Structure 1
Amino acid sequence: MQLHTTLALSLLITAKTDPDSEADRFIITNEFYPEQYSIYTSKYEIVNIIVPLNQLNYGNNPGSKYVFFFVEADQDESGRVIEKGLYVFKDGNPIKLLDNGRDVAAAADESNVAFIAAEDGIYLYNNERVSVHKYGTISDSIIGIAKPTHSDIIYILTEDKEVFIVSGMDTKKEKVNEIVNAEQIILDYDNNLYYLDADTQVYFYDFLSVTKIEGLPDYAFSARLLKPPVTTQGFVPFVVDGEIYCINAKGYAEMFDKVEFAGNGTPSAFAMEDGVVHYYAINKKIYEFDIYDILHNGAKGLLGKLVKKTVADEILTLIGLLV
């Protein structure tokens, strides 16, 4: 399966084979994030990373570094999340854009814009000025946002756990009544919408009805949908209590049993959208893994000591399957 190939490519870099495991499973702990790959250290937890797959990164004159966005947050004594800023990381430097930003969406197309979900509505990112301005008249407290490809609509998820379709320059919004109690929304590259609800269950919305994804655990302590790598088709990764599942629009999930995150190795944010360069946040740091660079020049530090030749050979085989 193509998604299996891409996920293995994304995660084998930071994984180790347990020689006693019959399943040949890769267990990822916090030891597999070498300091040499750290590109940013925060005072707060990094809870979201987004890599735009449009002209912001693939234009005629792209910068030498990827442009990506990330969100920092803290918790008060009651456990309530307190936003500490949404940043753009451009030319190797973090630049704060909003104090109350929460999520970013960019269509995988020829556009050069990114839409930002914030506590007071939607903002539009200007890459030339490295600034933001308010988009439309919506003032809802938005916690999630998704932008379909080749469409003028935007999906927004409000703090009240409701999903709306926003359309037109007048930002007219229409509630999606079929979606209830949503806590996260994600689009695949076929513009299919998936959402995670408060009971850690995943559903698929096809503009007409909602379908529950079968094959997932009935309960989870932690769960998160991931933006899929651009090389996948019709699948979305789902991390639930360290286990990885592949979910699709046909309504079922399949466990990806080759990789598992140990408790202290589970990132607080993932970004594998690009398919070649991946970003993981853990322990208030962002790590950048360029797979081609690692294969070409070797792994650095502790990672280089842990990745065995058999793992490297498998990665090369997976590279061959992708190209």
Structure 2
Amino acid sequence: MAIYDTLFSQLDVTSSQLLVTDRDFRDPSFGHQLRETVVSLLDLKVIPVFNENDAISTRRAPYEDSSGIFWDNDSLATLLAKELDADLLIMLSDVEGLYSGPPSDPQSKIIHTYINEKHGKLINFGEKSRVGRGGMQAKVAAAVTAASKGVPAVIASGFVTDSIIKIMRGEKIGTLFHNEANVWDCSKEVTTREMAVAAKDCSRHLQNLSSEERKKILLDIAGALDANVDLIISENEADLAAAQDSGYEKSLVARMTLKAGKVGYLYISSSQQYPFIYLIMFGHSICSHYIFVDNKPC
């Protein structure tokens, strides 16, 4: 704990150690007390540092999950993430994330999004490090458990500069575990370069279209909006409910609110050589009134 105090103090940040045991979590009232303690510390700008209370722990080697609660820091982190209703669990390791095989193997590739149905039985974890109890296999098990309980998890390297900040920015770093990751699965891995090249090719293709072809595309989009008003409104209502549950400000929720008139209206001025298409769409601040789309060739 002394090293945490030293490092945090260099940033004028206070830290506090909280020691727990698996027996604590057997008490139904412990979760409420735990949340109150953590909230109070954070209100005081104090960083809580959790660890198992080894002084009174009854565990003996070989270490195993005999309690079914937690048995190492990885499973403890998952348990705390659930108890504290965390938005995200980040587990730092000595490698950049989860690999398809031992990280030392040149053939191994990093897995940026873990899908249990796809990767669960295909990964060769190799040997664990000399420190810790469970190694990467334990981290994966903990991350899968966290994701199944609604807490996304990321395994990344603690040796990469600003890795936590990069994760919070949404950068593609480490391995993400999410309970809906299977929905995002693609049959083919596409690199950033391939996506950029494909986008550029499509841009050139659009530029080569005639004005009539562009007009037809815009009309098809408008028709699809008009035909799916009920579905769009329904999905928007679900998004609004999720935003309210997440504690978004009322003003932000109001900006996301869609009404039928904002989705389906289409007007074409046929008297123009290059007709203007006016679409009333999403109620965000950047398009709170009209979107003017001119299909005149550039």
* TM-score interval (norm. to shorter): under 0.3
More helix by share: 2
TM-score by length of 2: 0.23
Determine which structure has more spread, i.e. the larger CA radius of gyration: 2
TM-score where L is the length of structure 1: 0.22
- Higher RCO, Cα 8 Å, sep 6+: 1
